[in-house]
Amino acid sequence: MILLGEPMADVESASFYFLLPAGNAFYPEGCSGAGEVILDWLLRGAGQRNSRCLIESLDELGIHRNCAVTAENLSLSASLESANLLAALDIYADILTAPLLEDDQFEPSRQLALHELAALDDDPQHKVRLLVTEQYYPRPYNRPAEGKQGDLEGLTADCCRRIIQQQFDWSQCIFSVAGKYDFSSVCSLLEKRFAHLSGTGVRRPTAGQRGQQYTHLANEGAQVHIGLMTAVPTIQDAHYYDIMGAVSILSGGMSSRLFTEVREKRGLCYTVGARYQSLKDHAAISCYTGTTPDQAQQTLEVTVEQFRRLREGFSEDELHRAKIGLKSTLIMQSESSAARAAGIAGDHYYLGRVRTLSEIRQKIETISSSSLLAFLNANPFNEFTVATIGPKPIQL
Amino acid sequence: MTFKHRQLDNGLTIIGEIHPQAQTAAMGFFARTGSRDETPEISGVSHFLEHMLFKGTDGLNWQQVNEAFDGIGAKFNAFTGEENTVYYAAVLSEFLPEVAKLWSQLMRPSLREEDFNIEKNVILQEIAMYKDMPQFDVLDQARALHFGSHPCGNSTLGTEQTIGDLKVGQMREYFDRRYASNNLVAAACGNFDFDHFCELIASICGSWKPAVAERPLSFYEGTRQKKHIQKDTLARHHICMISPMVSMQDPRRFAASLLGMIIGDDSGSRYFWSLVDPAIAEAASMQAETMDGVGAMYSYICCEPAASGKVADIIRGIFMDLSKNGIQGNELKAAKNKVLSALTIKSEQPMGRLFGLGFNWVYSRQYRTLAEDIEAVRAVTVADINHLISEFHPGDFSCLSMGPQTQETPLF
């Protein structure tokens, strides 16, 4: 288990982040959605506390908690007043290492996951992002965190217990803390609670086939929701900062290409945006927009055109704005203990080391027209995976 | 943190909270105007006007505006509600003068007809987008049902009809009345020089004219009507309940906010234990919305259609128990801890302080330090909250539901 800490001046809060490589891709076939169920189940009693007592103890400490599951990871994180940090960590150690996992508490966890999956039908904007992600990433890294209905219906308490036993590999767990804390006290507490636990030898599954290029789901809504993804290198790549520059030119602010061309000049949509997302071995620029059915075809075409036209060039002003936008985001995040705790855990997971803020800042400075164009020429955005939800399909 | 305040001769107020250690700064203009200040024929104009401010001035077109914000790495946006339209940005401290200058210029937009016509499409797209989001649609329609003829029931977005029919001349007339200098507050938080900030604002805004920008205030109990809308395309049952509560000017607003958390926080609340924990509903929340002279408690529940009757029974039971037995001391203690730690964490960034700073001034002409807010939360007692319950009867609400099923017998 790796323990990381980054102190911050002038804050009274602390945030911590536990990251386990136990995401959806690592589960047996037919268990998609198990991560969501497990995260809910873990909080239904741990150590000496039953479900109600556990939640009350967390609330009493004023903890703002979050948990998430992706294809690769499970994470549990929290922000709180620094004085309560050690008490909170002690409870989190119970949740992670001594959950009660009672049979009668499993069913409501599974039912909630089923309800949340069904509720996606009333949230097409979210659903289209899942749909395109599922087609874009190779199996099993494409499994939606929300799971599949059939899988969730067949999921059992024993199956989830096995996943916890096998996939909670403490030798691969990353813990980070940021804000105001005493690192030696944090380390002694975690040493006491986690040091005796061992690794289980979890290995990354081999990537299989990808899905189809275009998927449409019929829905009689007011808008056509469009999700697109296109391949780019991962965060470890030498061109990573060029990719960030490209995303910033495309979608960094209101003067960005997508906002200007799709919304401001043509009034085609209200929402349009692109962002970078990365797994360890696969990455993408992912884009969403929504528009009325009569304008869906044009909206898709104008959106794709912005990606492809990027390598025809950009002005120095555009590059300057992209870089200052990236730097500004970085400095603003540095004032938030929650953002830093997540940032340093993520760095260690993807890169095996933590980048300092000044290193990132300096790398952003080095993005140049020539380095960005070199990246764009090597990655011309020729292929897109597209999904739509709406009254009728569109032509690729 | 120190507070500074100045008022220009034309009534425009400038306030600032200085955070000497901050690396970033946040600033915004608070226009005391929103959908409650609209007449039916211009429904949606406040929100449409908010979009139009980004279209520029006589000296700046929309592209130059967007480039100017992005050129200093500003994280900026605006929002329109029932009673305020707020324009804000967070920047690195060194760029505060530039962003303050830019927003000041934009507060006197050109409102060009060609920009108006293009942006009208964007607004219509936004209206279409919210139609596909029942969790917002149900709230909008429930608000209209609860407030009846009270202006707080006005839709912020307007309708396809009102936006389609709106003329740029109507918007200009509304702008002249509502964006008068005495109806605006410029606020900033962070590490900056307040005197310099004031000089900059005064040099651009000092010549603006005040006007009569009235807003009649009246408390409203709500209609307590119940309505169900059947929509075949929906998968879930969406329920919004609204009951009256104290206004933003009422010191009991801190107790109201804690009551919302006790009943409807997403963890450890009455709704959580009765509805979410046993997986009867996947979402159940309640919060207080204290407004100008009026207030309301909003609940939102989402569940499978077949469970809506059971959900209604449980909710009836929760409110019956609250009305009979009130809240418990341990519930209040947990709610306070959650509110206090959220306040502390949020306040660590200038952007987290900006809205509280601005709204305290807009509603109450008052500056409140973080310590005063913390003290006000700490001082709330079980009796204070139980008094609110007996005075406002949160279980006696207006309710709008939406779902795929017909509702032969009302939920409540």
A248 → chain B, closest CA residue: B70
Mean pLDDT of B44-49: 98
Tally of residues, chain B: 412
The distance from CA B307 to its chain's CA centroid, rounded to whole angstroms, is: 31
- What part of B 330-389 touches A (C-beta under 8 Å)? 330, 333-334, 337-338, 340-342, 344-345, 348-349, 351
- The full DSSP string for B277-320 is TTTS-SEEEEEEEE-SS-EEEEEEEEE-GGGHHHHHHHHHHHHH
What tens digit of pLDDT does each residue of B54-88 get?
999 999 999 999 999 999 999 999 999 999 999 99
Pairwise CA distance, residues A181 & A192, whole Å? 18
pLDDT at position A230, please? 98
Percent of chain B exceeding pLDDT 70 equals 100
Pairwise CA distance, residues B220 & B36, whole Å? 13
Pairwise CA distance, residues A325 & A249, whole Å? 10
pLDDT at position A9, please? 87
Cβ distance A3 to A77 under 8 Å? no
Helix or strand holding residue B329 (H, E): helix B329-346
- Average pLDDT over chain B, rounded to an integer: 96
CA dihedral B242, B246, B252, B258 (to 10 degrees): 10
Nearest by CB to B345, which of A52, A60, A64? A64
Pairwise CA distance, residues A80 & A57, whole Å? 13
pLDDT at position A396, please? 87
pLDDT at position B408, please? 78
Pairwise CA distance, residues B251 & B342, whole Å? 20
- The full DSSP string for A49-84 is EEHHHHHHHHHHTT-EEEEEE-SS-EEEEEEEEGGG
Tokens, residue A333: 């995040």
Label residue A68 exposed, middle or buried (CB < 10 Å: 0-12, 13-18, 19+): middle
Asked if B120 reaches chain A (Cβ–Cβ under 8 Å), the answer is yes
Neighbours of A374 (CB within 10 A): 14
Contact between chains at A51 and B277 (C-beta distance less than 8 A): yes
Asked if B75 reaches chain A (Cβ–Cβ under 8 Å), the answer is yes
**DSSP β-bridge partners for residue A14:** A80, A179
B403 → chain A, closest CA residue: A122
Contact between chains at B349 and A336 (C-beta distance less than 8 A): yes
Tokens, residue A246: 């490209």
For residue A254, the chain B residues in CB contact (below 8 A) are 54, 65-66, 69-70, 76
Tokens, residue A173: 């767990």
Pairwise CA distance, residues A292 & A276, whole Å? 26
ipTM for this prediction:
0.93
Contact between chains at A270 and B132 (C-beta distance less than 8 A): no
Confidence of residue B409 (pLDDT cuts 50, 70, 90): confident
pLDDT at position B1, please? 84
Interface with chain B: mutation pick from A114, A120, A122, highest number of B CBs within 10 Å: A122
Mean pLDDT of B144-167: 97
3-state helix, strand, coil split of chain A in percent (to 5) is 50, 20, 30
Confidence of residue B261 (pLDDT cuts 50, 70, 90): very high
Contact between chains at B24 and A335 (C-beta distance less than 8 A): yes
Contact between chains at A325 and B70 (C-beta distance less than 8 A): yes
Looking up tokens 């608070």 gives: B30
**DSSP β-bridge partners for residue A2:** A174
pTM of structure: 0.95
pLDDT at B318 over 90: yes
For residue A122, the chain B residues in CB contact (below 8 A) are 133-135, 234-236, 238, 302
- Rounded to 10 deg, the angle between the B382-392 and B308-325 helix axes is 120
Tally of residues, chain A: 396
For residue B65, the chain A residues in CB contact (below 8 A) are 254
- Rounded to 10 deg, the angle between the B253-264 and B370-379 helix axes is 70
- What part of B 168-187 touches A (C-beta under 8 Å)? none
Q: How many CB pairs under 8 A join A and B?
A: 197
pLDDT at position A268, please? 95
Tokens, residue A271: 């929402």
- What part of B 225-264 touches A (C-beta under 8 Å)? 233-236, 238
Tokens, residue B154: 């006005």
Question: Which residues touch A319 (CB under 8 Å, ≥6 apart)?
Answer: A245, A249, A367, A368, A369, A372
pLDDT at B402 over 90: yes
Pairwise CA distance, residues A56 & A76, whole Å? 17
Nearest Cα of chain B lies from the Cα of A381 at a distance, in angstroms, of 25
Q: What SS3 state is found at B119? A: helix
Asked if B278 reaches chain A (Cβ–Cβ under 8 Å), the answer is yes
Contact between chains at B67 and A338 (C-beta distance less than 8 A): no
Tokens, residue A223: 């808008």
Tokens, residue B136: 């917002």
Pairwise CA distance, residues B95 & B191, whole Å? 11
Asked if A176 reaches chain B (Cβ–Cβ under 8 Å), the answer is no
Nearest by CB to A13, which of B131, B272, B344? B344
Percent of chain B exceeding pLDDT 90 equals 96
Q: Smallest Cα–Cα separation from B347: which of B327, B368, B370, B366?
A: B370
Asked if A9 reaches chain B (Cβ–Cβ under 8 Å), the answer is yes
HEC string for B360-371: HHHHHCCCCCHH
Q: What SS3 state is found at A308? A: helix
- What part of A 333-352 touches B (C-beta under 8 Å)? 334-338
pLDDT at B211 over 90: yes
Q: Checking DSSP bridges between strand B184-190 and strand B237-244, what pairing results, if any?
A: unpaired
Nearest by CB to A324, which of B72, B119, B135? B72
What is the full per-residue pLDDT of chain A (396 aa) written as tens digits?
Answer: 999 999 998 899 999 999 999 999 999 999 999 999 999 999 999 999 999 999 999 999 999 999 999 999 999 999 999 999 999 999 999 999 999 999 999 999 999 999 999 999 999 999 999 999 999 999 999 999 999 999 999 999 999 999 999 999 999 999 999 999 999 999 999 999 999 998 998 899 999 999 999 999 999 999 999 999 999 999 999 999 999 999 999 999 999 999 999 999 999 999 999 999 999 999 999 999 999 999 999 999 999 999 999 999 999 999 999 999 999 999 998 889 999 999 999 999 999 999 999 999 999 999 999 999 999 999 999 999 999 999 999 998
Contact between chains at A223 and B267 (C-beta distance less than 8 A): no
Nearest by CB to A60, which of B92, B283, B337? B337
